Homo-oligomer: A and B are copies of this chain.
Amino acid sequence: MKPRAEGFAFRVECNASHARASVLTTPHGEVALPTFMPVGTQGSVKTLTPGEVASTGARIVLGNTYHLMLRPGADAIAAHGGLHEFTRWPHAMLTDSGGFQAFSLTEKVKATEDGFTFQSHLDGTKYALSPEEAVRVQGLIGADIQMQLDVCPPGESTRAVVEDALARTTRWARRALAAPRPRGQALFGIVQGSCFPDLRRAHAAELAALDPGFDGLALGGFSVGEPIEKMHDTLAEVAHLLDPERPRYLMGVGTPYDLWRAIEQGVDMFDCVLPTRNARNGQALTRHGRIVIKQARYKDDRSPLDPSCDCACCAGGYSRAYLRHLFIAGEILVLRLFSLHNLHYYGQIVREARQAIVGGHFAETKRRALQDLSSEDSPRNLSKAST
């Protein structure tokens, strides 16, 4: 079942075992997949201009509905012509449903069959988010792709809890699909099931069978506290089973290691705050591991972050010693340069993976990339806690 929303198309160009190179067409241009979506939580990919974000290769970014509905408000964004016009991002955009942040950021959140009620973490204002309301609010925000409201159980939940979450997510999926939304917006469903492969498989089939159907299918409920290898084991059993005629999006993941592993299993889209958040904590990610710039070892180091990188930070001649000085002195410039570098590195990973799929040498390219990452400082070792 191909995407149905107006202005959308999806075609797979090439497979390499489960991994695939595809193209997602949206009303705001084409996106080559696999792709990584930088996170623009509050209408800004933190520290960067839209032009800089695009310079990293990104052609789709993510906005957080929870944050945007609280401030400046979905109506204010709609009155401004939508999130593209508001933020001056000309390419594709996706918004999440708001449910995940409502659940993780607010107190007094209540979940019922109808949806979530919660109080804003900013000023205590009460909100109610139902499957229909999530579609309405995302319609006002105006991204190209909406996500359904779903129920995301914690990483190590019991099978019974996961089964309940999954069943409710399916009921909410039907309601979301039935809700009116602008014709130029796609809607993705979210497969839950934690690390129970059989539940994942069943839920994937259930959502794929809905008619009218989703324009894409996401894997939610990963990277929420479970051991990372458990996620990868489950992905290996499940990701390639998601309807091949729709894009597959692994939500909230992950490290460079995670990207390579998940692309191998057939995932097309990723988002994560890791590259930008770690940047603001003074961590640069490179193919050979991470650089924690405040360390004394960089004090007199005149080399760039990564001599093989052609981002504006590395190619601009900024030395590690200077970047360290800026970080220790609290200068904003280094947060920008690291954000740009890290997103550029993530862009490089998905470009390299895509080229390898098309070129017929994905397995070898992935193997080498994981080898490069396996040094002691490898970003592979970045746990969720450090992000």
Q: Which of B47, B80, B325, B329 contacts A321 (CB 8 A)?
A: B80
For residue A270, CB closer than 8 A to chain B, the reply is: no
A88 touches B316 (CB 8 A): yes
Main secondary structure of the interface of A (DSSP, over half): loop
Which parts of A59-88 form the interface with B (CB within 8 Å)?
67, 71-72, 76, 79-80, 86-88
- Choose, from A2-10, A215-223, A332-340, the stretch at the interface: A332-340
For residue A328, CB closer than 8 A to chain B, the reply is: yes
Contacts of A67 in B (CB 8 A): 329
Contacts of A71 in B (CB 8 A): 325, 328-329
For residue A46, CB closer than 8 A to chain B, the reply is: yes
A44 touches B76 (CB 8 A): no
A322 touches B47 (CB 8 A): no
What is the CA–CA distance of A321 and B76 in the complex, to the nearest angstrom? 9
Contacts of A322 in B (CB 8 A): 43, 80, 86-88
B43 touches A325 (CB 8 A): yes
What is the CA–CA distance of A308 and B286 in the complex, to the nearest angstrom? 42
A300 touches B86 (CB 8 A): no
A319 touches B44 (CB 8 A): no
For residue A317, CB closer than 8 A to chain B, the reply is: yes
A72 touches B332 (CB 8 A): no
Contacts of A44 in B (CB 8 A): 326, 329, 331, 333
B80 touches A333 (CB 8 A): no
A79 touches B317 (CB 8 A): no
For residue A167, CB closer than 8 A to chain B, the reply is: no
Candidate in A87, A321, A329, A333 with the most chain B CB atoms within 10 angstroms: A333
What is the CA–CA distance of A328 and B76 in the complex, to the nearest angstrom? 15
A300 touches B43 (CB 8 A): no
A331 touches B42 (CB 8 A): yes
7 contacts between A and B (CB under 8 A): A44-B326, A44-B331, A72-B321, A72-B325, A87-B322, A88-B318, A336-B336
**A-B CB proximity, top 4 nearest:** A42-B329, A47-B332, A44-B331, A72-B325
Given A42-B329, A46-B331, A332-B336, output 18 extra A-B contacts at Cβ < 8 Å. Answer: A42-B331, A43-B325, A44-B329, A44-B333, A46-B332, A46-B333, A49-B312, A49-B333, A71-B329, A72-B299, A76-B299, A76-B300, A80-B302, A86-B319, A88-B316, A88-B317, A88-B322, A332-B332
Chain A: residues with CB nearer than 8 A to chain B?
Answer: 42-44, 46-49, 67, 71-72, 76, 79-80, 86-88, 299-300, 302, 312, 316-319, 321-322, 325-326, 328-329, 331-333, 335-336
